[in-house]
Structure 1
Amino acid sequence: MPSPDLLAQSARLPDGRLLGYAEFGDRAGVPFLFFHGEPGSRLSGDLLASHARACGVRLIAVDRPGFGLSTFQAGRTRANWPADVEHLADMLDLDRFGVIGWSAGGPYALACGAAIPHRVRAVGVLAGVGRLGNFDPAMVKGLLRIRPGGNLDDLPEVMARAWTRTRAAAGSGVEAAQESAGTIAAGMREAMRDGPAGVLHELRLLARSWEFDPTTIAGVPVRFWHGKADAVVPARHTRRLAAQLPGSQATFYPAAGHVSLLTVHGGEILRELLRASA
């Protein structure tokens, strides 16, 4: 894990809200912004940290509004996200950058590709999900436990175990995913540090259609990755979405799960994004 000062940074947006972020990998490397899942936070970026260091990537993991250090934004949609990202990039003196969305963060990466193509070098979607119905039923059951005033003490650990479940056999990355359960739980706990309002709002968004059209992305390389052994988000969603985006490329790893996609294959994914963004 990087030093604490790199894990708890925030930027003040023009409307006064704070946007929390953490930095991983090579601070002199090619910048990529990482968008977490649901629930999750900037701390989830640690799942790719060692790969980012090895590949020369400066990974900037950002809390969405109402998660972690980011101020809640009533009524926000996924289409609002690119403006926040662009403001953060300006504050960090980033002219152009790549974006990576994991799980429920996938649509946010695509939204950036559609809205600010002049800033985005490449879009990577890792085990992306578009609607709540694409989640595994056990995962949905855990998410529905989240409510104001509810007892959420054990929920991060319960959900972390669900995220690290995989349909793959032992020895194919399962162990690497299970070792990351603590990182995932910490990210989920941080997501709700000031209460579950942001997480609940995200659940409502997951139940609705996207507020932007990903098929309008032009001039930006789009890459999808998904594990066929993913027990949280079925790979069929990525197949369907990739087929709708002309020029996009999709890679499916037979034994990868929702987490081992990052922990085992993160290096290959980052290297491909670097090639695509060159």
Structure 2
Amino acid sequence: MGSSTSKLKYPHLVASKFPITNDGETITLSDGRIMGFKEYKFFHTLTDNTISLRNQEFVILSIPGIPGSRFFTHPSLLSKENDENINTSENNENKALIRLIVLERPGFGLSTSAKRNFIDFSNDIKELCQQKNIKKFSLMAYSAGGPFGLAAAYSLGKQNDSLNGPIISKLAIITKNSPSLLSIIARLEAKSALSDPVKAASEILLLGPPDDKEVYEKFPEIEELFIKSSLEMYTRGQVETACWEYSLWGKDWGFNLNEIGKGKDGNIGVRCKVWHGEEDYGCTIDMGKYIADQIKGCETCFDK
């Protein structure tokens, strides 16, 4: 499958080569469901301001958007992981070990399909941490993964004020499109991606800000990242999961934004940061500011 355009540009990104079954990890949750994820390890070189963190290990959990999969991580990190000889037993002066774990929500990738809400997924994250003996972590949630990250900050942050995160890299929580319309778009996108993934990605770019197209042209590996996750998701027939998640946006989320970030005795608990592109078509700048204003002590970065 895949047109000549796809084969010419990215020969490895065609529907016939997906889904990928031999790359990633899973755990079995208490209710018998499978949760998929992929862990990436690399060393981060410290600066003078962070030298006190040398030889330490930091865990970052990442929640992708839609389409998203365990493969959704920046290509520069992949090359860094491959270029460096990761030996955690060695004393790497002036470096800190980063463990980036990219999660797959229910019904995406290797994870069992289940109609779970935002708070429910927080419980899945908690189980993952228990099974992998993770005591402390930061959380990064991207785009449609934003509400799940906020829910985790609300539910898990209350239990342990020393918990770091989440750091929300980009929020696309509220949309001017209705959930039913988004479901129609998702099904059309799935059909297009399976036929010609490169063309489908180009058509999506036309709906976004001009800067997105410039990024794809300058860094084609970013385009590959999105296409790979699209194919992993749609070749598994998981478009209905996307439709289910879209429907959650218009329902009660199960928590209030102003309850996030509150620690004991009035102190700040979970520290949150919102990064938001001012040209984001999916979530307006006013909505990004509203979310940040509701969370106690929330830092912001509005990128032009």
Structure 1 CA distance for aligned equivalents of residues 103 and 174 of structure 2: 21
Pair 1:251-2:296 in alignment: no
Structure 1 unmatched ranges of 5 or more: 255-278
SS in 1 for 2:167: strand
Q: Is the 8 A contact 2:140 2:169 kept in 1?
A: yes
Structure 2 CA distance for aligned equivalents of residues 221 and 116 of structure 1: 12
Q: Is the 8 A contact 2:174 2:283 kept in 1?
A: no
**Aligned residue identity for 1:116:** L
Moved more, 17-26 or 233-242: 233-242
**Aligned residue identity for 2:227:** A
* Match of residue 133, structure 1, among 176, 183, 200: 176
Task: Give matches, 1:5-154, under 5 Å.
Answer: 7-26=23-42, 29-47=57-75, 49=77, 56-74=97-115, 76-117=116-157, 118=160, 120-133=163-176, 142-145=185-188, 153-154=194-195
Task: Give matches, 1:156-195, under 5 Å.
Answer: 156-158=197-199, 160-161=201-202, 162=204, 165-168=208-211, 173=215, 175-176=217-218, 178-195=220-237
Give the number of aligned pairs. 245
Residue in 1 that maps onto 2:51? none
Structure 2 CA distance for aligned equivalents of residues 193 and 215 of structure 1: 39
Q: Is the 8 A contact 1:82 1:115 kept in 2?
A: yes
Name the Cα RMSD after superposition. Answer: 3.3
Residue 206 of structure 1 and its aligned partner are, at CA, apart by 2.9
Moved more, 209-218 or 50-59: 50-59
Residue 143 of structure 1 and its aligned partner are, at CA, apart by 2.1
SS in 1 for 2:300: strand
Q: Is the 8 A contact 1:226 1:251 kept in 2?
A: yes
Q: Percent identity?
A: 23
Q: Is the 8 A contact 1:223 1:249 kept in 2?
A: yes
Task: Summarize deviations over 1:211-237 as a string: whole Å, max 9, x none.
Answer: 222221220100010122334444332
Structure 1 CA distance for aligned equivalents of residues 79 and 121 of structure 2: 26
Residue in 2 that maps onto 1:203? 246
Larger radius of gyration: 2
Pair 1:238-2:288 in alignment: yes
Residue 87 of structure 1 and its aligned partner are, at CA, apart by 0.4
Q: Is the 8 A contact 1:25 1:51 kept in 2?
A: no
The TM-score, its normalising length taken from structure 2, stands at 0.69
Residue 56 of structure 1 and its aligned partner are, at CA, apart by 4.1
Structure 1 CA distance for aligned equivalents of residues 212 and 62 of structure 2: 29
Residue 139 of structure 1 and its aligned partner are, at CA, apart by 7.9
Residue 244 of structure 1 and its aligned partner are, at CA, apart by 1.5
Structure 2 CA distance for aligned equivalents of residues 62 and 169 of structure 1: 25
Task: Summarize deviations over 1:61-117 as a string: whole Å, max 9, x none.
Answer: 01000000000113x111101110010011111011111100011111111111011
**Aligned residue identity for 2:242:** V
Gap change, CA 1:237 and 1:70, over 3 Å in 2:
same
Gap change, CA 1:37 and 1:169, over 3 Å in 2:
closer
Structure 2 CA distance for aligned equivalents of residues 125 and 145 of structure 1: 29
Q: Is the 8 A contact 1:52 1:58 kept in 2?
A: no
Gap change, CA 1:207 and 1:174, over 3 Å in 2:
same
SS in 1 for 2:211: coil
